[in-house]
Amino acid sequence: MHSQHLLIVIIVGSGTLLYLGKLNSDQNDRNAFINSVQKSLKCRNLRERLLTMSTMKTVDIALFTQGVSELMDCPWRLNLTHRELQRTELWACCNASDKLMVTRQNTNLHQSLIYEAERSNKKLVDQSLWEMLPKSLRWNKKGLLGRCAVVGSGGILNNSSCGEEIDSADYVIRFGLAPINQTVDRYGIDVGIKTDLVSANPSQILNGYRDLQKNPGPLTERLSVYGHAQLYHALHNGRPQNEVVFLHPDYLFDLARFWHNHEEKIKRLSTGLILTSAAMEICEEVHLYGFWPFALDLSQNPVSHHYYDNVGSTAFHSMPEEFLLLLKLHTKGTLQLHLGHC
Ligand SMILES: *[C@@H]1O[C@H](CO)[C@@H](O)[C@H](O)[C@H]1NC(C)=O
Ligand SMILES: *[C@@H]1O[C@H](CO)[C@@H](O)[C@H](O)[C@H]1NC(C)=O
Ligand SMILES: *[C@@H]1O[C@H](CO)[C@@H](O)[C@H](O)[C@H]1NC(C)=O
Ligand SMILES: *[C@@H]1O[C@H](CO)[C@@H](O)[C@H](O)[C@H]1NC(C)=O
Ligand SMILES: *[C@@H]1O[C@H](CO)[C@@H](O)[C@H](O)[C@H]1NC(C)=O
């Protein structure tokens, strides 16, 4: 017998599944269909469970990782409503498109900027700092940027082959002067090379390049791999060839308050969360790579701290809590996290 039935399955809820089509009563097709329904149900349950999690404090990391691994097998769907809502909220609180960086447009000569972390500390915008500032943000005249890749430095990028996908983005953000030298190992294959904005920690500049004012050569050389990317670091002067931009302390202050009000577990924002937030406001689409703050990967194998070394500590920030936040944004369809092979 080879009869055919018209089958309509509607599962209403967060993971709405609409199946409408002809189904052969053929056993294989039926099994495939049942499997796909089971998979959608499983994905829906996973999403619901994840969205109710409020902290990572009491979480068994091995079980959590298992859940994340299953979630990554579920199809990701953009939710336009969530994405635009998030963009609007971030714009209303923080306005990255106007205030992410200190520019001559949003700052006056001889104005005092108040440091974000120590509100009693001020930095005067003197003539030499003023001259370093960009006139305005590069992108804010053109409306939203298209597809943005925010590339964390997590060891999970090692052997990911994500380089090509990252390089195909319209705007690529990297962190902590992460190496992207294609001739070394397989960085090019895994992390790509295109860079539009790269952050440096103040300590990287202060400790690594002590006599920067007199001898900027070594830093300039290190930065040359990024082409004409903008380099940003906190408010300290330095003159490499790349345009140096500074995150605006007012933006950092507003953003910290914003996330703290939403997720009070998040105390001091990492650069990763700061620039991901900015990207959610100024980019059409946000894709995250290399964000994974755990010692085991999705298959429970050890993974290094960074894709380029195994040094570092996350003690200062609330990385697992931030990761949970990003995973929820992924689950809601606001942005897309990439954790496996590309
Ligand atoms: C987006 O999310 C909202 C709220 O969770 C839901 O009602 C809506 O159906 C979703 N839209 C899409 C296209 O999935
Ligand atoms: C953000 O900044 C732009 C440019 O200054 C301004 O036009 C806009 O009103 C600001 N938006 C909010 C919500 O403050
Ligand atoms: C690297 O990835 C490939 C698949 O792309 C896999 O076959 C190989 O085992 C991986 N190597 C390591 C060391 O994880
Ligand atoms: C890339 O790495 C190679 C090998 O370490 C080195 O010789 C070369 O100068 C580096 N290139 C850049 C642009 O840093
Ligand atoms: C990245 O993976 C390769 C094997 O694919 C390994 O040889 C290398 O040590 C890893 N790098 C780090 C920083 O863990």
175-206 pLDDT, tens digit each: 988 888 765 556 678 999 888 888 887 667 66
Mean pLDDT of 136-159: 85
Q: What is the average pLDDT across 197-217?
A: 71
Average pLDDT of span 318-342 = 94
Provide the pLDDT for residue 314: 52
Is the beta carbon of 241 within 6 A of some atom in ligand 1? Answer: no
What residues flank ligand 5, with Cβ below 6 Å? 155, 158-159, 304, 309-310
Q: How far is the CA of 99 from the centre of ligand 2 (A)?
A: 9
Strands (E), the chain: 4-11, 17-24, 112-114, 122-124, 145-151, 171-174, 197-199, 230-232, 244-245, 283-289, 336-338
Give the mean pLDDT of 12-35. 57
Q: Give the pLDDT score at 73.
A: 93
- Average pLDDT of the chain is 81
Tell me which H or E stretch contains 260: helix 249-262
Atom of ligand 2 nearest to the CA of 95: 1
Predicted pLDDT at 178: 85
Pocket residue to mutate for ligand 4, from 180, 181, 308, most atoms within 8 A of Cβ: 181
CB-count burial class (<10 Å; 0-12, 13-18, 19+) for 165: middle
Whether 128 has a pLDDT exceeding 80, the answer reads no
Q: Which atom of ligand 2 lies closest to the CA of 92?
A: 13
Question: Does position 124 have pLDDT exceeding 70, yes or no?
Answer: yes
What confidence score (pLDDT) does residue 21 get? 42
In percent, how much of the chain has pLDDT > 70? 74
Whole-angstrom Cα distance, residue 118 to residue 307? Answer: 32
* Confidence (pLDDT) at 313: 65
Most confident of 107-121, 171-185, 279-293: 279-293
42 vs 46: CA distance, rounded Å? 6
pLDDT band at 8 (very low <50, low <70, confident <90, very high): very low
> Which 3 state secondary structure label does DSSP give 140?
coil
Strands 145-151, 283-289: pairing kind: parallel
pLDDT of residue 118: 65
Instruction: Identify whether the C-beta of residue 43 lies closer than 8 Å to the C-beta of residue 21.
Output: no
Q: Which tokens sit at 125?
A: 């915008």
* C-alpha to C-alpha distance for 58 and 56, rounded to whole angstroms: 6
Q: Which residue puts its alpha carbon closest to atom 8 of ligand 5? A: 158
Find out whether the beta carbon of 112 lies less than 6 Å from any atom of ligand 4.
no
Among 287, 306, 317, 338, the active-site one is 317
* Beta strand ranges found along 175-238 (DSSP E): 197-199, 230-232
Q: What is the mean pLDDT of residues 157-170?
A: 93
What atom of ligand 3 comes closest to residue 341's alpha carbon? 5
Tell me, yes or no, if 330 is annotated catalytic: no
